[in-house]
Structure 1
Amino acid sequence: MIIVSDQHAPRSLIVTLYGAYGRDFPGPVPVAELIRLLAAVGVDAPSVRSSVSRLKRRGLLLPARTAEGAAGYELSADAQKLLQNGDRRMYAPPPDGDEGWVLAVFSVPEFERQKRHILRSRLSGLGFGTAAPGVWIAPARLYEETRHALHQLRLDGYVDLFRGEHLGFAPTTEAVARWWDLAALAKEHEAFLDRHGPVLTAWRTRADTPSEEAYHDYLLALDSWRHLPYTDPGLPARLLPADWPGARSAAVFRELHERLRDAGAGFVGV
């Protein structure tokens, strides 16, 4: 059996599975099917059951019966929205030209400082950089997703959102290097390339595409990739260092997606 690496937590793989294939099921995904599909990437049945329970407690999965009466789970409305937002992030083409910025300016009273921590964590998770204390910045295309996320968390009362352009005094390339930790982002892209680049190279030499192998390699690649477009918000190439690895990692993921996603669907049965 292929053992799942530490890079791929069972709970994350379940979310990735639903994002890749679960929405194509004609109804709830049976528990027995979840166990079979996660076993193919090295997750044992107890880990699947405990991870599903945690996702249920978080309100992302809802228990339901299949048409045949088997126990299963379906996505909640909130989970559907999260996956739709994820689709836009993961499969978006590279940014084309300057789009401006969205600024999130917030002030949280000291007696509610826990909300300040949640707010910072959520903005960071959306890909925002820090322009100044209490002022966060991201590409303008993230406005709608940010507005929805803050509203869902009932944090919108503490935040004002603005659209704008950077007018100086420092060059925007220098400012971007302050707003985001570009070295850390580059390392994440390089790690993806180190892990999945050789997988793509191996598939390029093959004439066949067995469904279980395609499913295995695609699910692991997607599980690695789906976090990156949130860590890295997709800054314009002209603002990034030369030979930025983000373009290469995105190209590797896109080719793996095109080669393996539909072939893997045969193993899933959708």
Structure 2
Amino acid sequence: MADSPLRPSSLINTVYGAFLRRLGGWISVADLLTLMAELDVDGPAARSAISRLKKKGVLEPERRGATGYRLSPGAHPVFDEGDRRIFGSLEPAKLSDGWAMAVFSVPESERSYRYQLRTRLTWLGFGNIAPGVWLAPARLLDDARDMLVRLGLSEYVHLFAADYAAFSDLPATVSSWWDFPAIEEQYAGFTDAYGPLAAALARRGGVEGAEAFRHYVPMLTQWRRLPYLDPGLPAELLPADWNAVAARQIFQQLNDVLAAPALRYVQELTGLPQESAR
């Protein structure tokens, strides 16, 4: 488990993202509470988290013989983007691919949008070059475009596909655009929490059933924050001892060992048919 408790709402998001989207997107409240109990989340805390996710528009109530919740249509693009970030960005970007640049200007009368833009671009992994100027590896361009349109912020932003031409020492400069120590601290926390588990499961040769589920959901919940903090900068621009490399290896190892048996466990518990694979 992670050193700090994971929020029940974050665990529920992981359950929907990792499993329920592949099983129709719906689950009964009774089965969801059973799954949350496996993660040491009691009924009142789970129900409170479900209520918050409903108010945020992530979940919608739907009765299918039993009371349950499904992902709202608006949540699907967010989860799809999460898949791309979590499972598709394990390798660093290539310097030759260039950059995505976002430039925005917001009138003072609408300064709340300025805060939203800063927050959302930071969450996507953009680094701040100068006031109103943000940069990320080029592979984040489509996600940035989709996010800005989805949130109604596109009218304030110009997006560019850019190349760096001159004049600074780029590795040294990049380290001032992203908070490398904070990113490395998060990777170190993940490695400390899950490195021993990866080693233990390698010795055992895997795990099945509820045990796989209990390991996988907290692990994935902690990991899925990291691809947003770290945009996957080209290796040439990173410190030689960049600790993301070891953390990614641990994540990949645990994902390979735990994802499939955890999904089988959820499917067997709920009786839901599997619709598609990632």
Q: TM-score range by the shorter chain?
A: over 0.9
SS at match of 2:164: coil
Instruction: Select which of 201, 215, 220 maps to 1:203.
Output: 201
Give the aligned partner of residue 135 of structure 1.
Answer: 133
Structure 2 CA distance, aligned partners of 1:235 and 1:181?
A: 12
Q: Is 1:95 aligned to residue 92 of structure 2?
A: yes
Structure 1 residue 24, shift from structure 2 partner: 2.2
Instruction: Select which of 68, 72, 84 maps to 2:68.
Output: 72
Q: Runs of 5+ in structure 2 lacking a partner?
A: 269-278
| Structure 1 residues 45-194: aligned runs within 5 Å | 45-66=43-64, 69-92=65-88, 93-95=90-92, 97-98=94-95, 99-194=97-192
Structure 1 residue 76, shift from structure 2 partner: 1.3
Structure 2 CA distance, aligned partners of 1:110 and 1:43?
A: 44
Structure 1 residues 236 and 208, CA, compared in 2 at 3 Å: closer, same or farther?
closer
Q: What amino acid is the match of 2:70?
A: E
Q: What amino acid is the match of 1:210?
A: E
| Structure 1 residues 8-19: aligned runs within 5 Å | 8-19=6-17
Partners of 1:7 and 1:224 within 8 A in 2: no
Q: Number of matched residues? A: 266
Q: What amino acid is the match of 1:78?
A: G
Range that drifts further, 17-26 or 129-138: 17-26
Q: What amino acid is the match of 1:76?
A: S
What TM-score do the two structures reach when normalised by structure 1? 0.94
Q: What amino acid is the match of 2:94?
A: G
SS at match of 2:74: helix
Structure 1 residue 211, shift from structure 2 partner: 1.2
Give the aligned partner of residue 267 of structure 1.
Answer: 265
Q: What amino acid is the match of 1:245?
A: N
Q: What amino acid is the match of 2:80?
A: Q
Give the aligned partner of residue 276 of structure 2.
Answer: none
Structure 1 residues 161 and 198, CA, compared in 2 at 3 Å: closer, same or farther?
same
Structure 1 residue 51, shift from structure 2 partner: 0.8
Q: Is 1:251 aligned to residue 262 of structure 2?
A: no
Structure 1 residue 27, shift from structure 2 partner: 5.5
Q: What amino acid is the match of 1:70?
A: A
Structure 2 CA distance, aligned partners of 1:214 and 1:28?
A: 21
Structure 1 residues 96 and 125, CA, compared in 2 at 3 Å: closer, same or farther?
closer
Structure 1 CA distance, aligned partners of 2:146 and 2:259?
A: 29
Q: What amino acid is the match of 2:266?
A: V
Instruction: Report the RMSD for the aligned CA atoms in angstroms.
Output: 1.5
Misfit runs of 4+, over 3 Å: 3-7
Structure 1 residue 26, shift from structure 2 partner: 3.9
SS at match of 1:74: strand
Q: What amino acid is the match of 1:95?
A: P
Instruction: Select which of 234, 239, 242 maps to 2:240.
Output: 242
Structure 1 residue 4, shift from structure 2 partner: 8.4
Q: Runs of 5+ in structure 1 lacking a partner?
A: none
